[in-house]
Chain A
Amino acid sequence: QMKLQESGPGLVRPSQTLSLTCSVSGASVSNYFHYWTWIRQRPGKGLEWVGYFYSSQSVHYNPSLGSRVTISVDTSSNTFSLRLTSVTAADTAVYFCASAGLDYYALDVWGQGSTVIVS
């Protein structure tokens, strides 16, 4: 049974870089059976797709985040990470890591979420 757990600083200064890690158990980030995904939810708002990593040749990001976002995988620690540069208060959100299978991009496993405040 796959489990995901986010970790990272809860407070980031404006213009700095937000970095979060998702620890994966019960599956390997090095296989090609999952879309390793980040979703965020701003306070009182809906869900926003940030992006996913499928393989080094298949990484997709929300264009609304421009070139600020990077998602990467570390096979040695079985984790995947989110890096968001030049943050502003608008990046304050709960950040979820999640996983979808290959047949349908339906996020069936989620972490509990990590609250990040930019201030």
Chain B
Amino acid sequence: ETVLTQSPGTLSLSPGDRAALSCRATQAVKKNYLVWYQQRPGQPPRLLIYGASKRATGIPDRFSGSGSGTEFSLIISSLEPEDFAVYYCQQHGDSPITFGQGTRLEIK
């Protein structure tokens, strides 16, 4: 099973700041099958990034994903108030499909 570890657990930033979230896998994620989601309180997750770097439909370009192998990152270039939420990575290169434990992005 591929375990995903996200860091930091909590990130405290201000609107306008740049956010850098990390997702590390215990083994290489095949074909860069790495996905990022955003979850706001009381809401289902929202797809942001798939294939490690491809933005989903309707996702603003301030969100970008990168990485390969075992190291992946999600960058939010300039935080908007609505970006403060929990972010999860997920891999589907290996069975079972697994999620990271999440990074909480909070307002400083």
Contact = CB atoms under 8 A, between A and B. Distances in A.
B47 A47 contact: no
Interface in B12-28: none
Given A47-B37, A104-B33, A104-B35, 17 more contacts: A46-B99, A46-B100, A46-B102, A47-B45, A47-B102, A49-B97, A63-B96, A104-B50, A104-B92, A106-B50, A107-B45, A107-B47, A107-B90, A108-B56, A110-B44, A110-B45, A113-B44
Contacts of A112: 43-44
Which among B37, B44, B54, B95 has the greatest number of chain A C-beta atoms within 10 A?
Answer: B44
Given A63-B96, A106-B35, A47 B88 contact: yes
A92 to B, nearest CB: 17
A98 B37 CA distance: 13
Nearest to B52: A104
Interface string B66-108: 0000000000000000000000101010011111111000000
Contacts of B35: 104-107
Interface string A94-106: 0010100000111
Nearest to A60: B95
Q: Which secondary structure dominates chain B's binding surface? A: loop
14 contacts: A46-B102, A47-B90, A47-B99, A49-B90, A49-B98, A63-B96, A104-B33, A104-B51, A104-B54, A105-B33, A106-B35, A106-B92, A110-B44, A113-B44
Interface residues of A, number: 20
A111 interface: yes
Nearest to B99: A47
Nearest to B98: A49
A86 interface: no
Contacts of A104: 33, 35, 50-51, 54, 92
Contacts of A111: 44
Nearest to A61: B96
Nearest to A106: B50
